[in-house]
Structure formats: structure tokens, C-alpha cells
Amino acid sequence: MEIQPETPYPTDYNECGEVARAERDNNERPAIANLPESIKEYDTILIGYPIWWHTAPMIIGSFLESYDLTDKEVYPFTQSASMDTEQFDNSIAFVRENADGATVYDGLFARPSDTETIDGYLENNGLVQ
Ligand SMILES: Cc1cc2nc3c(=O)[nH]c(=O)nc-3n(C[C@H](O)[C@H](O)[C@H](O)COP(=O)(O)O)c2cc1C
């Protein structure tokens, strides 16, 4: 599923950036328009997001904090413009802080075109047969 914000982000890149930066600076948890009532039928969650302002978008925290994630297995995946690994690490720390009770595995940081890395990650983590 694609997480949809209740208030859509501005389509203008700079305006979107300002909204996203304020959300991060204030550690906000923006409301989700299409939040599933329950995720209890899922054991494993692959959660993907773009790097925004050196970490994950705050709405990823909104999603994770909405559920009891006890015994869930979470695999974050992301990419960014710079592919700066420190920003990736920040985002994984953010996911871990917000995924209470879950096991958060080391994430995947790869561009969509890097199918070799993506396939390797899925295989190494037993996510494909
Ligand atoms: C609000 C916003 C903040 C962003 N912040 C960063 C950032 O801190 N570091 C970075 O490398 N890229 C940043 N980006 C770039 C996104 O990570 C990039 O757009 C995303 O991974 C999708 O890639 P694409 O635009 O090539 O589809 C930002 C993009 C937006 C819209």
C-alpha cells in the first residue's frame, strides 16, 4: 500500500521541502488518509520511503506508531538524491525508535535501477524464494 497523507504535500519541490522540514524540526506525526485499521494479518512489513532532510519522512513514524508491532519483522528500504549513508543510518534509527516491539532488520539503501543489490537483499533476508 502507498501511505497517503491526509493533507497532500505541495507539488512544488521547494514548498514541499519547507513543509517537510518543519515536520522534521517539530518531530510531527502527520495524519495518514488511508491508514489500515489493522495489520494483524501481516508478520513482515517492508516499509519504503525517500530520504527527506537527512532522515525518514515523519509520516513513516505516524504509520509505525499506529500499531502494536510486537513480533513483527520490519525491513526498511530507501533511496535519496545524494545516497549519503549517514542519512540512511539516521533513517534506520528513526524507524527503530518508532517501531516499538518490532525487530527492525538492517535496511536496504539502493537506487531502483540497482536491481542486483535489491535482488541480493531480498535473497539474503529470505524475502524471496
Ligand atoms: C522534501 C524533500 C527533502 C529531501 N531531502 C533529501 C536529503 O536530505 N538528502 C538527499 O540525499 N535527498 C533528499 N531528497 C531527495 C529524495 O530523497 C529523492 O527525491 C527521493 O529519494 C526520490 O528520488 P527521485 O526524486 O529520483 O525519484 C529530498 C526530497 C524532498 C522532496
Looking at residue 129, what is its pLDDT?
A: 81
Residue recorded with cell 522534521: 24
Residue 9's pLDDT band (cuts 50, 70, 90):
very high
Q: What angle do CA 50, 56, 58 make, to 5 degrees?
A: 115
Question: Cell digits for 25?
Answer: 524540526
- Total domains in the fold of the chain: 1
Nearest of 91, 35, 88, 27 to residue 58 by alpha carbon: 27
In a domain, 2, yes or no: no
Evaluate whether residue 55 is within a structural domain.
yes
Q: Which atom of ligand 1 is nearest to the CA of 82?
A: 11
Digit-coded pLDDT (tens) for 24-72: 999 999 999 999 999 999 999 999 999 999 999 999 999 999 999 999 9
Domain that holds residue 18: 13-124
Pocket test for ligand 1, best of 18, 51, 79, 108 (most atoms within 8 A of CB): 51
CATH number at residue 20: 3.40.50.360
- Let me know if residue 1 belongs to a domain: no
Structural domain includes residue 5: no
Specify if 7 maps to a domain: no
